[in-house]
Amino acid sequence: MLPNRGRGLGSLLSDSELVVSQKVAAFKGVKELELDKIQAGAFQPRTDFDETAIRELAESIKVHGIIQPITVRELEKDKFEIISGERRYRAALKAGLTKVPAYIRDVDDQRSLEMALIENIQRENLNPIEIALSYQRMINECNLLQEELGGRVGKNRTTVNNYLRLLQLPAEIQTGLILGLLSVGQARPLITLEDKLFQIELYKRIIEQDLSARKVEQLVKEENTFEREASALDRYREDMRIEEITLKGKTLVPIKINISDIEKGHVSIKFSNDEQLETILRKLESIKA
């Protein structure tokens, strides 16, 4: 082994990173690659790029250049695919660069997917649903168990499972997480709710009233306690209340369902004149059809 005397700290750190890189995937060196020979990664987990952030990064690149090389793999001669660093690649294009520095790895599809997902999870500002989908892809496409996945991304099994459970939420709530309208802490308690209508209702209250995660947990606990302890008649009345809301929403008709016992009660509809009655009957008939 050659002595290290006289070598700079940067050089030693570079060697250290290289050793790690060789253990992770075959390392073929760093090159200046022409941008027109590089294509976006097929396994990029990020679905939305912040254009403002890209422009700001492009301005920085114009002044300082690209400090951290992107990582690519060679698909064929003079054709490369990004494994990680697509934001830097996009910003370089916007900055007017023709070449970028790149680490070149010799990896197959599965390893490329795993590297792209792990790099993004650890280093990029992914939203919770992008993280959850990345975890799910690694489990499905890399054939990993949750424990193995946790080890790869530096998270415990509980954290991984909490993210994966977010994918059980209705699309509307997942969209709220993507847009940052609520946090993971606010959304997580909603997963345990069986009543999907109450789930959406509480989601809207979180946004409108800026409910804390602790308050959401309390409301969910109260709802779940009611579900367990409510009598059969209470549950039937609650079901009919939901049915009443659904009918009003579909028909815009002033329907009232009054319950006296299980499967007993009466439905009342208010109207002021014959014309209004005919309109109501037509709307009800359209539902029946």
Catalytic residue flag (residue 86) = yes
CB within 8 Å of 114: residues ≥ 6 apart? 138, 142, 152
Q: CA separation (Å) from 132 to 119, 180, 221?
A: 14, 15, 25
Ramachandran area for residue 17 (φ above 0: left; ψ -120 to 50: alpha; else beta): alpha
- With residue 104 as reference, give the H or E element that holds it: strand 99-106
Q: How many separate helices (H) and strands (E) can be counted in the chain?
A: 13, 7
Query: In terms of Cα–Cα distance, which of 104, 112, 101 is closest to 137?
Result: 112
Query: In terms of Cα–Cα distance, which of 27, 37, 154 is closest to 93?
Result: 37
* Helix, strand and coil in the chain, % to nearest 5: 60, 15, 25
Please pick, among 17, 59, 81, 86, the residue that the annotation labels catalytic: 86
Q: Active-site residue numbers?
A: 86
